[in-house]
Amino acid sequence: MDELDLKILSLLQENARLSYREIARELKIAVGTVYNRIKRMEEEGIIKGFAPILDYEKLGFGLTTVIGVKAQGRKITEIERQIAENDGVIMVYDITGEFDIVVVAKFRDRADMNRFVKWLLSLDGVEKTNTSVAMQVVKEDLRIKLTED
């Protein structure tokens, strides 16, 4: 990774629909260079895919939760894998502290959330959960600044 890779990634974070030609024009480099660098970053797993940034609330997912999960140590990895497969789950983190796992999930309503939490508690090795409901989404954006420009 060099500064040019970071500049390409920054442009793609702002608009993943930019063409190679548009990126090349913006950075004053050859189209082939853009193509080769993006292809390499995809192959290396730096770029995992291209997706629009959605307003989940407008799509009917108005309930955001942060759930702490306490689990039996030898089962944590399997529990995390099972949680990650759930369609409403957007993030799963293996963490330190009182809880072993943090889950961020989106739900249509309380009943949807209730079903998920009960399913979570039924998983072998889950000892307890602590669910917090977001009252307001202040910032929800996985993009970070990659360059000083």
Residue 68 belongs to domain with CATH number? 3.30.70.920
Evaluate whether residue 143 is within a structural domain.
no
Residue 90 pLDDT level (bands cut at 50, 70, 90): very high
pLDDT surpasses 70 at 57: yes
Rounded average pLDDT over 60-68? 97
Q: What's the total number of domains in the chain?
A: 2
Residue 106 lies in a domain: yes
CATH of residue 36: 1.10.10.10
Residues 34-41: contacts with CB under 8 Å, at least 24 apart: 34/8, 37/4, 37/5, 37/8, 38/8, 38/12, 41/5, 41/8, 41/9
Is residue 88 assigned to a domain?
yes
Residue range of the domain that includes 89:
57-134
Is 37 within a domain? yes
The pTM of this model reads: 0.86
pLDDT value for 149: 67
Say yes or no: 29 and 77 in one domain: no
